[in-house]
Amino acid sequence: MPKLIQKNKIVNFDYQIIEKYECGISLMGWEVKSIRAQNVNLKGSFASFKNGELFLSNMHISLYMAVKGDELRARKLLMHKNQLKRIELKQKQQGYTLVPLSIYWNERSKIKIELVLAKGKNKADKRQSEKEKEIDKKIKLYIK
């Protein structure tokens, strides 16, 4: 059972999720310790391709103790090459965005990122999703 570290709550509001992927992440030692202490923020982070490799940008990991390092550096995401090619092709053809949904520990004590291929919502779509949530809440309230 994966143990959730941090979830990006804004993704479901701002984007329509198309597909989900699980990928590893290349981290330094101090970053792992800081993530273990849950000092990570996914808000505003995104993934992009550089030379056929996938990098996660703007993920803030707080400095651990007195370590010197870059809190917002681009971190390499680890996936199979065929998956990367398929995702890059979809992103270029259909204009989708790659956004991290959550960061968690898997069963083998590895830090994983749940990456989402998503399409941005406009204001009308956001309002519609808010109305649907309110209706669902009212229905659940009356059922109990």
pLDDT digits (tens, 9 = 90+) for 29-77: 899 999 889 899 999 999 999 998 999 999 999 898 888 888 889 999 9
CA max distance for the chain:
54
Q: How many CA atoms lie within 13 A of 139 on its CB side?
A: 6
DSSP class of residue 123 equals: H
Q: At 64, is the secondary structure helix, strand, or coil? A: coil
* CATH no. of 3-143: 2.40.280.10
Distance CA 37, CA 86 (A): 34
Cβ atoms of 77 and 54 within 8 Å: the answer is yes
Say what the pTM is: 0.81
Position 14 scores a pLDDT of 85
Measure CA 130 to chain center: 21
pLDDT digits (tens, 9 = 90+) for 67-118: 888 888 999 999 999 999 999 999 988 889 999 999 999 988 899 999 999 9
In the structure encoding, which two tokens stand for residue 75, read together?
A: 């971190």
- Length of the chain, in residues: 144
Using a 10 angstrom Cβ sphere, with 0-12 exposed, 13-18 middle and 19 or more buried, the burial of residue 140 is exposed
